[in-house]
Chain A
Amino acid sequence: MSLPVLLALALGGSLLTYILSGINARLRDAIAVIASLTVAAAVASLYGRTVETTLGTGFLGFPLVLRIGPLSWLFAMAVSAIGCLSVIFSLSYMRGKGRTGFYYAMLLLVDAAMLGVVLSGDLLSLFIFWEVMSWSTFLLISTNGGPALAAGMKYFIMSITGSLAMLVGIVWIFATTGTMQFSGVAAGLSAAAPGTRLGVLVLFGIAFGVKSAVWPFHAWLPPAHSEAPSPFSAVLSGVLIKMGVYGFLLTMYVVIGMRGFLSLGWRALPVHTILAIIGAVTIIVATLIALAQNDAKRLLAWSTVAQAGYIFLGISFGTAVAVAGGILHFLSHAVFKALLFMAAGAVEYRTGGVRDLDSLGGLIKKMPVTFAAALIGVCGLIGVPLTNGFVSKWLIYKTLIVDGSPFLAFIALIGTWGTVLYGYKFLHNIFLGQLPEKYANLKPAPFSMRLPMVILALVVVLFGVLPGIPLAVVDAIGSSFGFATLGVIPGGIAGETGTINMVNIFAAIIVGVVLAWLIFRAGARGARVGQADSYAAGGPVPTDRYQYSVHFYAPLQRMLAPWLRDPVDAFYGGLGARVVKLSDGLRRIYTGLVADYVMYVMLFLGALILVQIVWRPW
């Protein structure tokens, strides 16, 4: 399938869904699923191909180019697959809610725009699709109104700031190189002065930094992720913020080029090291804040900021293994974080919108599949061996240690322990402990929610045991950037850069589990008892209150309290308030009296005359 047809299909699916929503809800749902499935299948069929096509007559005299290579393919695949699964998840989630047709159309439009972003072959089409993506995302985030509107507004303002920076960067590049196509730009920029390359990196960095929620541009993400409808949170966290990662990869290793990027800065402190440090700061700040969250989706949102830090750390550290680790972690995170948001969404759906971690508990007995999916997702998030998150993090740690950045490795590793803490809190407070009586008749998640969760959970484990499958693509991307190949084997890598074989570790763990199970079997059997039949130091077990989940890490939170505030968000909030105040002041000059306006004109002319008399500039 050619690229323009693919994009037309994606955009057409969105439009068709919107038209059909007025006619028949069932047909609309079917078309939405079929359209997203077709797009995913079409992207999958482009595996391993490198195509470049010019679109018709172009725009304002500039040619519009679409192209696909290993990098675009991986991102396009993630976008279309996660998009498709979230449409399936939405089927029950959105049933009975208002403006469903608008929701589906926008969801498919965001997916189509993201596809456009990764398939763009020149800066102009990149910018166009980027803008479509930004505003359709805004409409989706604020679907629910109320606090969601405020969250959407925050996102939109930060996003526009980023877009403006990007536009200036594009104009700068065009002025320097005289072209907008990536192939031409790369050749032009490698000859340009380091200052130009740094300027482009900073300007694009603001745009992509906002989108990928890297510190200090992360402030929009937590409210937006927690207020958006859950299936869209999965898309938002899974793939949309990864457009920023794509943008960074594009800027660093395609537009500026590996050599041009890694040689920027000073000998003692290269620019890419500064970026890696920003990634590390993102990890530690966001992990600590995630620990203190009591809203399931807000906790996941902060964890997304932290994981974006890992990805950013990997791709900007700039060794072959680190970049591979960063790209692989993008994929791992897309899968397990979409899974986790869906699990939180399923709980939210069944409990009637409860996201408060303090009021849930014991749901494992009612929603076992959702629990299993959430458990696998959290294991991926932590990076427990045999999940996809382990391999990508291992690659990043390995290169940080061997290539002499132990302190960055330390921050990344301690971030993992923070993840254990908030990951367990998420599992425990929702699924473990005592089941409150009001949830005694809770039904399991509907099939259309379980299916995407099960698929994603299987992928987490599959890519954890056989990381060679995604690593083959990641390795091809690395080679296209000019890095050495890693020597990919099905179980991991076996090259000069390092050796890891997940198949061996898988076998060892299976043997360990079987052995432990045999020892377990040897003992006398236990009687199955209910939750009320537990130890209460001789007293009766109080029903409904025998639960420990509020302030789960109280001692730690007391210690860390001064560090858990987010000064960046406070800064943006203050800035926003000042701008509002200033605008309010400016508004007062519009009095509506003609006499006042005549006075302004006279004053302005008088000022001009004064300037001319004193300095004679004209």
Chain B
Amino acid sequence: MRILGFVISPLAALAVGIFFLGLTRRFMARTQWRYGPPLYQPLIDMLRFFTQKSVSHGAIFDLGVILSLAGSLVVVLFLPFGRICPLQGSGGLLVVLYLMLLAPLGLALSAGEAANPNSSIGISRMFALALGYEVPLLLIVLAAMTRYDTISIVEIVAAQRAAVPNLATFPLVLSGIAYLLILPALLGLRPFDVAQAPQEISSGPLAELGGRYLALAQIQNALSLFIGISLFVNLMWGGASNPLVFFLKMLVVFAFGLWISASFPRLRVEQAVRYLWRWPTLLAFVGLLLVVVIRR
């Protein structure tokens, strides 16, 4: 069963992620009174990219894209999807937080060797934004870990499922709201799509990527959608006992993110970071403070 999990969980994550990508295009089209492409359009695109010619700027250019995808694949193995969680006892959430670094770092290395200023600007924006949302995100994640006195995601999920909702489980609500407030930034959706702004900096880090490079970046993008939402469902919403319920919960969360995304225009980097360091951080801070007080 565990061996099977190693195969199932990345595939499931990929399927969900690509579905979400398709859903995004469809959702945006409908809000703009267009019909939109079919839901499986991202899949067609990826397959097409694989057959197209591309350019390479060197070994790190190749390696960065590979590392980026590999990082996301490994993170997926640590996240419970329903009951499927292949890597449980290897350092828990702290390892996940650090493995989540590999994807942006790989992309950044690749974009750096591309020697295109658009890519470099995109990376600088991506990291600045990351510093913006990591402040509330870390407070949120720490609240969950402190609340259940463990650094294991599986144990956090189990503890939430065992508890009846009451005042003692209440504190995480604030953290949960904070998480929803930063979700579009975490997923790189508008109004926080500063790093890949196509009209300003030619899609930023993706500017030099074509063919299989773009395909890998898209797969990684799909996985990162899955990771960002799955982390919320596991830490804040009790996970699920089977993959189907888990998927439905993810869908609800993602729909919320899309709603925000379709409603607001793109922010500037400073505006985005200022927003992230204001309300979500305040909520997350109070959330963590409550958890600490109740724990005493």
Interface residues, chain A, with chain B CB atoms under 8 Å away: 362, 364-365, 371, 375, 379, 382-385, 390, 394, 397-398, 401-402, 404, 406-407, 409-410, 413-414, 416-418, 420-421, 424, 427-428, 431-435, 492, 498-501, 504-505, 508-509, 511-513, 515-517, 519-520, 522-529, 531, 533-537, 546-549, 552-556, 558-559
Contacts and interface: CB of A to CB of B under 8 A. Distances in A.
16 contacts: A382-B105, A394-B94, A406-B143, A420-B104, A427-B109, A509-B102, A517-B66, A519-B69, A523-B49, A523-B211, A526-B55, A526-B210, A533-B55, A535-B116, A548-B120, A555-B269
B70 A528 contact: no
Contacts of A434: 115
A420 to B, nearest CB: 6
B74 interface: yes
A501 B211 CA distance: 37
A583 B209 CA distance: 65
A384 B73 contact: no
B54 interface: yes
B193 interface: no
B74 A512 contact: yes
Contacts of A424: 105, 108, 112, 123, 127
Contact of A559 (B10, B55, B146, B274): B274
Nearest to A503: B90
Q: Which of B53, B118, B131 has the most CB of A within 10 A?
A: B131
Contacts of B58: 364-365, 528
B120 A549 contact: yes
Nearest to B131: A417
Contacts of A498: 151
B179 to A, nearest CB: 15
Given A410-B288, A534-B208, A555-B128, 19 more contacts: A382-B105, A401-B146, A413-B138, A414-B131, A417-B130, A420-B105, A424-B123, A428-B108, A499-B90, A500-B90, A522-B50, A523-B215, A528-B57, A546-B117, A548-B121, A552-B124, A553-B124, A555-B273, A556-B128
B104 to A, nearest CB: 8
Interface in B33-60: 49-58, 60
B115 A531 contact: yes
A515 B7 CA distance: 11
Given A401-B151, A420-B105, A513-B66, A508 B77 contact: yes
B264 interface: no
A505 B142 CA distance: 22
A404 B296 CA distance: 9
Interface string B234-256: 00000000000000000000000
Contacts of B208: 534-535
A306 B172 CA distance: 31
A406 B270 CA distance: 28
Nearest to A403: B149
A500 B70 contact: no
Majority SS of interface residues in chain A? Answer: helix
A228 B53 CA distance: 50
A428 B98 CA distance: 21
Majority SS of interface residues in chain B? Answer: helix
Interface in B244-286: 268-270, 273-274
B56 A537 contact: no
Interface in B193-232: 202, 207-208, 210-213, 215-216, 219
B116 A534 contact: yes
A548 B113 CA distance: 12
B12 interface: no
Nearest to B87: A508
Contacts of A435: 115
Q: Which 6 pairs between the two chains have the least Cβ-Cβ distance? A: A523-B212, A432-B112, A512-B70, A526-B54, A548-B117, A516-B69
A433 B69 CA distance: 22
Given A432-B115, A508-B74, A404 B146 contact: yes
Contacts of B268: 555
Contacts of A432: 60, 109, 112-113, 115, 120
Contacts of B30: none
Contacts of B161: none
Contact of A417 (B89, B91, B134): B134
Contacts of B127: 420-421, 424, 553
Contact of B98 (A385, A418, A528): A385
B130 to A, nearest CB: 6
Contacts of A398: 94, 151
A526 B113 CA distance: 15
B142 A410 contact: yes
Q: Which of A398, A517, A548 has the most CB of B within 10 A?
A: A548
B142 A512 contact: no
B57 A531 contact: yes
Contact of B50 (A364, A431, A524, A531): A524
B53 A526 contact: yes
A379 B109 CA distance: 12
A37 to B, nearest CB: 34
B218 to A, nearest CB: 11
A362 to B, nearest CB: 6
A37 B6 CA distance: 47
A375 B64 CA distance: 12
Given A515-B73, A519-B69, A524 B143 contact: no
Given A500-B91, A512-B70, A519-B219, A406 B146 contact: yes
B71 interface: yes
B212 A526 contact: yes
A523 B269 CA distance: 35
B212 A413 contact: no
Contact of B53 (A500, A527, A559): A527
B214 to A, nearest CB: 10
B67 interface: yes
Given A529-B57, A534-B114, A414 B91 contact: no
Contacts of A523: 49-51, 54, 211-212, 215-216
B116 A505 contact: no
B269 A516 contact: no
B288 A407 contact: yes
Contacts of B89: 499, 501
Contacts of A504: 87, 90
A409 B105 contact: no
A553 B128 contact: yes
A513 B70 contact: yes
Given A384-B105, A526-B211, A558 B270 contact: yes
B168 interface: no
Contact of A384 (B50, B87, B98, B108): B98
